[in-house]
Every structure is written in C-alpha cells, then in structure tokens.
Amino acid sequence: MATRPTQIVTGKVRLSYAHLFKPYAHDPRQEPKYSVTILIPKTDMATKADIDRAIEAAKQEGMANKWGGQMPPVVKTPVHDGDGARQN
C-alpha cells in the first residue's frame, strides 16, 4: 500500500534496461546509477491513472516546497508512450 500520494504500487510489469544490482553509466564520464525502465501494459489503465495522480501530487509538492509557489512553464515527466514521439 502506498504511504504517500507520490508513491504507487503497480501490478505486474516488465522491466527493461534493468541495472538493479550494479550501477551503470552509458557514458563513462557520468556517475553510475541504479536504474530501470518499467513497461506497463496499455490495457492497465488503473496503474496509468495512479501514476498520473502521483505525478500531479509531486508537482504540487514541488510548487509548495521547491519552486516558491510557482509552477515552472514546463515540467518534465518520467512517463512516455513508447508508440509516439517522446516529449521531454
């Protein structure tokens, strides 16, 4: 069960580019980090809705605690649809 509005629990997902046991850096000049790409089925609309709510809660938290009460003109999102062009 999620404990904060910015956290969610998913159902079954697939992992891609999983660097869970050893940090990885694509470029040797970058700091290696643990990372994973989570693939969610398009039919799992409930999880997508939960993710969207968590992103909105994170934006509100950022506006209150980081951005001085003002939302930046463009807020990057960690979610994109693999079928279309990626929007940053």
Give tens-digit pLDDT for 26-85: 999 999 999 999 999 989 999 999 999 999 999 999 988 888 888 888 888 888 887 776
pLDDT at 81: 81
Task: Tell how many helices (H) and how many strands (E) occur in the chain.
Answer: 1, 2
Amino acid letter, residue 5? P
Confirm if 44 and 19 have CB atoms less than 8 A apart. Answer: no
pLDDT > 60? residue 88: no
pLDDT at 75: 87
> What spatial distance separates the first Cα and last Cα of the chain, rounded to whole Å?
30
pLDDT at 23: 96
d(CA 67, CA 61): 9
pLDDT at 31: 97
Judging by DSSP bridges, how do beta strands 14-24 and 33-39 pair with one another?
A: antiparallel
pLDDT at 27: 93
